[in-house]
Amino acid sequence: MRTTTARAYPNIALIKYWGKRDEARILPAAGSLSMTLDAFETTTTVIPTPDGVADTLELDGQPADEEATRRIAAFLDHVRALAGSEQKVMVASRNSVPTGAGLASSASGFAALATAAAAAFELDLDTRDLSRLARLGSGSACRSVLPGVSVWHAGDDETSFAEPVSAPDMRMVVLTVDRGRKPISSRSAMRLTAATSPFYDAWVASTETSLSAMIDACSEGDFTRIGEITESHALRMHALIQSTTPPIRFLRPQSVAIFDAVEKLRENGLEAYSTADAGPNVVVLVRPENTEAVARALEGLGDIRIVGPGPGAQLLPEGSEVPSGA
């Protein structure tokens, strides 16, 4: 075993993953498609602890709470099973934005951890198997193993991984309206949706249809169609989530104001489309040449950050270790 460090970036889904058909193996009810970003990265170091009796986790220099530690220990059990090892490790992870705010996502976290842990345990995994492994930590993490635009197939344990999709060059204008921790995790909210929403089956069926339309639009380089499907699919997901018992609403008045402003931009001939994950922050999809104009037009509606397609998860050279706070 050796000490390893990896870096991965979050992704923003254009076709959303919301619902599992297998909780233990994290198999999604439908496929999804996203763009891995070039900002908001997570860097993670895995250090073998020969005398350790349990895995430990440090997040941004602080010991993590019990729940987060349990979640990464459960993930590391999958890695140990693959490696035929019982070795416990220390994990030190650093996010470039606050954890739990909807952007420092579990996607970048588990993509980085899977990459670092696989190397630490000397598993020789190709991209496909690394994507499958990351999926066991957090579903959306399987897409952050890949660079740029990728599709995550629903499939079974063997066939549910992300792979690249050809797509036009695109940018995103990220508007952060709230940096606080989410009131409910994606995982719990997803479970509640499947258990209580009367619209869940229709969501799953229509997501498959939207996904194949999206893959066609991507391969044709049809930005307008990509944008239209993106915005419509995001609104469907939020409608679905609001239909749970008890209802959950992630979008805030400021989020809705951004959707309105983006619609106005389109009416005025500037093409842009909104999406939002399980939180109040809004991400606006634009053509590269319109990025600055859209960002300027949305000034004042949130903290703005312009992002583009980013790299897949990668191992960093020795000497890149995340400093431990201990």
Q: Which residues of the shown chain bind ligand DP6 in the complex (CB under 6 A)?
A: 13, 16-18, 26, 32, 106, 138-140, 186-187, 190, 277-278
Smallest distance, Å, CB 138 to ligand DP6? 3
The smaller minimum CB distance to ligand DP6, of residues 121 and 152, is found at 152
The smaller minimum CB distance to ligand DP6, of residues 6 and 162, is found at 162
The smaller minimum CB distance to ligand DP6, of residues 261 and 278, is found at 278
Gap between the Cα atoms of 315 and 5, Å rounded: 6
Smallest distance, Å, CB 276 to ligand DP6? 8
Q: Which residues of 102-124 are buried (b: 16+ CB within 10 A; e: fewer)?
A: bbbbbbbbbbbbbbbbbbbbebe
DSSP tag of 118: H
Can you give the three-state secondary structure of 235-255, one letter per residue?
Answer: HHHHHHHHCCCCCCCCCCHHH
What angle (nearest 5°) sits at the alpha carbon of residue 57, between those of residues 5 and 37?
A: 50
Smallest distance, Å, CB 273 to ligand DP6? 16
Among 171, 281, 176, 279, residue whose Cα is nearest residue 226: 171
Residue nearest ligand DP6 by beta-carbon distance: 139
The smaller minimum CB distance to ligand DP6, of residues 187 and 287, is found at 187
Among 15, 13, 6, 11, residue whose Cα is nearest residue 36: 11
Gap between the Cα atoms of 76 and 79, Å rounded: 5
Gap between the Cα atoms of 272 and 264, Å rounded: 10
The smaller minimum CB distance to ligand DP6, of residues 145 and 297, is found at 145
Smallest distance, Å, CB 243 to ligand DP6? 15
Gap between the Cα atoms of 145 and 111, Å rounded: 6
Does an H or E element contain 89, and which? strand 89-95
Classified as helix, coil or strand, 234 is: helix
Smallest distance, Å, CB 211 to ligand DP6? 11
The smaller minimum CB distance to ligand DP6, of residues 167 and 190, is found at 190
Gap between the Cα atoms of 164 and 143, Å rounded: 9
The smaller minimum CB distance to ligand DP6, of residues 27 and 286, is found at 27
